[in-house]
Amino acid sequence: MVHKVGIVMNGVTGRMGTNQHLMRSIIEIIKQGGVKIGPGSGTGKDGDVIVPDPTLVGRNPDKLKRLVEMSGIEKWTTDVDEALDDPDNVIYFDAQTTDRRFDAVMHAIEKGKHIYCEKPTALTLERACALHHAAEKAGVKHGVVQDKLWLPGLLKLKELRESGFFGRILSVRGEFGYWVFEGDRVAAQRPSWNYRKEDGGGIIMDMLCHWRYVLDNFFGSVRAMTCLGARHIHKRWDEAGEPYEATAEDAAFTTFELDGDIVAHFNSSWAVRVRRDDLLVLQVDGTEGTAVAGLRQCRTQSYAETAKPVWNPDVEQPIDFYEGWKLVSDAAEYPNAFKAQWELFLRHVVNDEPFRWSLLEGAKGVQLAELGFRSWQERRWVDVPGLK
C-alpha cells in the first residue's frame, strides 16, 4: 500500500530549503520509491511505503517557477492558506527566515497540520514554548530539524562513546566557521539577513541551537554556560550589491558545563579562516582516548598511542602531531542527514513510530541562545534550567 502524504513546504526557495530539504531529501525520497514501513506500532504492513507529495510555497512566483523546473514538482502557490486548506496536505514544513516562523507555524497548528520546521523555532523562548504547547493541545505531531545528529563524523563519535573508547569523557572542543565574504570584492556565500539583528540574524541564535542538541544527545545535558559574542565585520554588501550595516554578532565563544562534569567549549565564527580538517571539528578528550571528528571523517588516538611531548621551545618540534591517529572506518552507508530525519518524521506521522526531536527540543535550543545573550550582556555564567 502507498501512503501518499501531502506536505506544504514553505520557504524552500532559500538555499537551505532548496538544497537540503527539497532536492536532497524530499526529491530523493520520491526517486527511491518512498519510505518503506513495516508492521509495528502503527498501521504499516510489509511492503507499505510513504510517498511525499509536496506543494511548494513562497512569496516570489519567479523563484517558485524556477524551483518547479529544477525539481519536477508541479504544485506551487504563493498563497499559504490555499495550500493549508487542501485536506490532502497533512504536514506543514517551514524553512522561512526565523522572524517569519512563529506566526506561520502557529497558523498551521490552528489549521490542524502536523508540524516539521527548521530551527530556531522562534526568536524568543516564550514563543518557542508557545508553539510546543499549542501543538500538544491541538494533538498534532511535531518535529524540529536537528540535522547534525545524523552526520557521519558525529555518528562515529557516538559509536566510540557507546563502545567505551573514551573512558571518562573530560572535555569537548568545537571549532565551527569560515570566512563569509563581505560582498563587495567577493560575493557573500550567506544571505544578508543573517547579519542584521532586526531581521533575526546573528550567530548566537543560529549556532547555539545546534550546539544544544549536539551536546544534549551525544555528551550530556547542559547545566550552565557562559558566552561572549563579537561583531567583527561591521559593514557588508547585500544581494543587490548595496552596502548595509551588519548589526548582528558574527562570532560567539561559548563554554558549557555538562552533566558528568564534562566541560565543552565551542568557537563559532563567520570571520575566521579555516586551517583544520573541516568547517566543523569536534575534539572529544577522555581518560582512555581522544577522537577528532569533522562532518564525515573521525580519527582516534588511544591512551597507548598518545604522544609524549616535552616542552622545549629552543628546538624544532620533533613530533608530528598529525601522525599517530587512526581513521575510523565507515560502519555503513550514511544518507544525507536531512533526508535521514525527514524519513523518521514521515514514519512518525504515518506509522506512529517514535520521534523525540519535538518542538520542545527546538525550544531548548532557543533557550540556550537566549541565555547566551544574557550571559554576554551581563558578563557572567548562567544556569540552564529544565524545560517542560
Bridge partners for 175 per DSSP: 267, 281
CATH of domain 150-332+367-382: 3.30.360.10
Summarised one tens digit per residue, pLDDT across range 38-84 is 765 455 566 799 999 999 999 999 999 999 999 999 999 999 999 99
Summarised one tens digit per residue, pLDDT across range 220-274 is 999 999 999 999 999 999 999 999 999 999 999 999 999 999 999 999 999 999 9
Q: Which residue has the cell 498551521?
A: 108
Which CATH code of 3.40.1280.10, 3.20.10.10, 3.40.50.720, 3.30.300.30 fits the domain covering 2-147+336-357? 3.40.50.720
Q: What is the pLDDT of residue 331?
A: 81
Q: What is the pLDDT of residue 313?
A: 94
Q: What is the pLDDT of residue 263?
A: 98
Summarised one tens digit per residue, pLDDT across range 170-223 is 999 999 999 999 999 999 999 999 999 999 999 999 999 999 999 999 999 999
Q: What is the pLDDT of residue 161?
A: 98
Taking residues 97-106, report their average pLDDT: 96
Q: Which are the contacts of 380, defined by CB distance < 8 A and separation ≥ 6?
A: 226
- Whether a cis peptide bond, with omega within 30° of 0, leads into 54 is no
Q: Is the pLDDT of residue 93 over 60?
A: yes
Find, among 71, 85, 378, the residue nearest to 226 by Cα: 378
Q: What is the pTM for the complete model shown?
A: 0.94
Taking residues 77-100, report their average pLDDT: 97
Q: What is the pLDDT of residue 44?
A: 57
In the chain, which segments carry CATH 3.40.50.720? 2-147+336-357
Q: What is the pLDDT of residue 41?
A: 42
Neighbours of 319 (CB within 10 A): 11
Q: At what angle do helices 152-163 and 203-218 cross, to 10 degrees?
A: 30
Q: What is the pLDDT of residue 332?
A: 82
In the chain, which segments carry CATH 3.30.360.10? 150-332+367-382
Summarised one tens digit per residue, pLDDT across range 288-341 is 999 999 999 999 999 999 999 999 999 999 999 999 999 999 988 899 999 999
Q: Is the pLDDT of residue 351 over 80?
A: yes
Three-state secondary structure of the chain = CEEEEEEEEECCCCHHHHHHHHHHHHHHHHHCCCEEECCCCCCCCCCEEEEEEEEEECCCHHHHHHHHHHHCCCCEECCHHHHHCCCCEEEEEECCCHHHHHHHHHHHHHCCCEEEECCCCCCCHHHHHHHHHHHHHHCCCEEECCHHHHCHHHHHHHHHHHHCCCCCEEEEEEEEECECCCCCCCCCCCCHHHHCHHHCCCHHHHHHHHHHHHHHHHCCCEEEEEEEEECCCCEEECCCCCEEECCCCCEEEEEEEECCCEEEEEEEECECCCCCCCCEEEEEEECCEEEEECCCCEEEEECCCCCCCCCCCCCCCCCCCCCCCEECCCCCCCCCHHHHHHHHHHHHHHHCCCCCCCHHHHHHHHHHHHHHHHHHHHCCCEECCCCC
